[in-house]
Amino acid sequence: METCEVLVVGGGPAGSTLAGKLVQAGLDVLLLDSQTFPRQKPCAGWITPEVFEALALDAEEYRRERVLQDISSFRTGLMNGKTVVTRYGRTVSYGIRRCEFDEYLLQRCRVRQSLGEPVTMLERKDGWWIVNRRIRTRLLVGAGGHFCPVARQLGATLGREEVVAAQVAEFAMSPEEERICNTPADTPALFFCRDMKGYGWLFRKGRYLNIGLGRMDAHNLARHAGEFCTFLSRNGYLASDISVRLQGHAYRVFQGRGGRRRVGDGALLIGDAAGVAHPLSGEGILPAIESALMAADVILAANGDYRRDNLESYAARLANRCCGGSVKDLTSPVLSGIVRFIGARLLSSSRFTRHIVLDRWFLHTNAKADYSS
Ligand SMILES: Cc1cc2nc3c(=O)[nH]c(=O)nc-3n(C[C@H](O)[C@H](O)[C@H](O)COP(=O)(O)OP(=O)(O)OC[C@H]3O[C@@H](n4cnc5c(N)ncnc54)[C@H](O)[C@@H]3O)c2cc1C
């Protein structure tokens, strides 16, 4: 039987961030992922500069061998409505490709890893977790995304939770398609659904195009996504002969003290497994990294005693957290309903778009997180 102090299930941004911090502190960590890297992850790949700050990553070093698209403007509007272009005159966000980004983070964290190995079996015995009948660990960290087996072990009721349901495609454009594409690479386009339950995006990263649609309502998602692609072609955003194969995925947004149970005896959840994505933008990469950093602090402070009481402060920190900006005010269904109602009426206003939609909902310029521990 292989033994480790901490076993991390999942090598996405949450898992690799946590593993890196614990390895640096001298803990014996093993990370398992069902896939081998590089792997595809359905995602738009939009990140804010806070991601680089939180990970102490050098953007220039990263871009030397990978796609890092600078974003300085956004086109926004209601689908089939008037659009507004908001220019910042500086880089306010980036576009990355998840197949590159996640592999880079995983390599950099220097953790002992077993890739291509799904966690299929979890048993609790004498204070240990026995994983896949071959590994035993004191602490089990669920970083396996929305369908993480550790989340299920802690009681997540998959299928009955409120989720963001999304479909996305990312592909390399041919030189001819690149020539026709009228979306500037530094200006991604966001088109909100008329009911404000979600939005579609068209996002160019160098020669790669990323198209997708996410909604807080999984009903008829394929139809909404199909209509979005038709809207893009009809309005010249997409060459009409491009056939887009969309891939679906779901995840939970942050719901304050509600949502999934995130801590158990010898176990905790981070990232999408814990349901921490931003409630209005659906941004999940930064919250996944932030949750991993908070979990690392609490794990190290527990000093080897991983009883639930010693891990509970992580759940409390998550509930009070800034997700690159405060999200507490947005987790009330009534308030977010009002925000959506007003938002749909004001999306053609350039002031509202800049100060509320972009600065507050997407870029969180209203509140900066502190990453020092
Ligand atoms: C269509 C779409 C677009 C999105 N766009 C954005 C965006 O532009 N910006 C943004 O910030 N967020 C975006 N998100 C959200 C973002 O992708 C997630 O919040 C983020 O990936 C969470 O990271 P994570 O490390 O928690 O999980 P993941 O990145 O999902 O990683 C989980 C890992 O666990 C592994 N795993 C799963 N099950 C098992 C198992 N049984 N055993 C072992 N390993 C397992 C998986 O292989 C995977 O590698 C988007 C999401 C979707 C669906």
pLDDT tens-digit series, residues 79-130: 988 899 999 999 999 999 999 999 999 999 999 999 999 999 999 999 999 9
For residue 270, the ligand 1 atom closest to its alpha carbon is 26
Cα–ligand 1 centroid distance for 12 (angstroms): 6
Contact indicator for 150, 6 with CB cutoff of 8 Å: no
Structural tokens at position 135: 């590994």
Cα–ligand 1 centroid distance for 243 (angstroms): 25
pLDDT of residue 254: 82
Residue 357 CA from chain centroid, whole number: 19
248/262 Cα distance (integer angstroms) = 25
Closest to 298 (Cα-Cα) out of 287, 309, 315, 314:
314
Residue nearest to atom 19 of ligand 1 (CA): 284
Q: What is the DSSP string of 147-206?
A: T-HHHHHTT--TTSS--EEEEEEEEEPPHHHHHH--S-TT--EEEE-TTSSEEEEEEEET
Residue 300 pLDDT exceeds 90: yes
Tell whether pTM > 0.75: yes
The alpha carbons of the chain give a radius of gyration, in whole angstroms, of 20
pLDDT digits (tens, 9 = 90+) for 34-44: 999 999 999 99
362/197 Cα distance (integer angstroms) = 15
Residue 340 pLDDT exceeds 60: yes
Structural tokens at position 204: 């160019």
369/366 Cα distance (integer angstroms) = 10
Structural tokens at position 150: 């550790």
pLDDT of residue 158: 79
Residue 361 binned pLDDT confidence (cut-offs 50, 70, 90): confident
For residue 214, the ligand 1 atom closest to its alpha carbon is 1
Residue 45 CA from chain centroid, whole number: 9
- The set of residues, in sequence order, having a beta carbon less than 8 Å from that of 219 and lying 6+ positions away, is none
The set of protein residues with a Cβ atom below 6 angstroms from ligand 1 is 9-15, 32-35, 41-47, 118-119, 143-145, 147-149, 166, 168, 212, 214, 249, 251, 271-272, 277, 283-286, 288
Cα–ligand 1 centroid distance for 372 (angstroms): 25
- If one residue of 55, 272, 294, 318 were mutated to test the ligand 1 pocket, choosing by the most ligand atoms within 8 A of its CB, it would be 272
Enumerate the H helices of the chain as residue ranges.
13-24, 49-55, 59-63, 98-108, 149-153, 175-180, 221-234, 285-302, 308-319, 333-346, 350-352
Q: What is the mean pLDDT of residues 237-257?
A: 80
Helix (H, G, I), strand (E, B) or coil at 363: coil
Residue nearest to atom 29 of ligand 1 (CA): 12
Structural tokens at position 216: 């807080």
Cα–ligand 1 centroid distance for 49 (angstroms): 19
pLDDT of residue 329: 45
Q: With 0-12 CB in 10 A as exposed, 13-18 as middle and 19+ as buried, what is 70?
A: middle
pLDDT of residue 111: 98
Write down the mean pLDDT value for the chain: 89
What is the number of H-type helices and E-type strands within the chain?
11, 18
Peptide bond into 184 cis (omega under 30): no
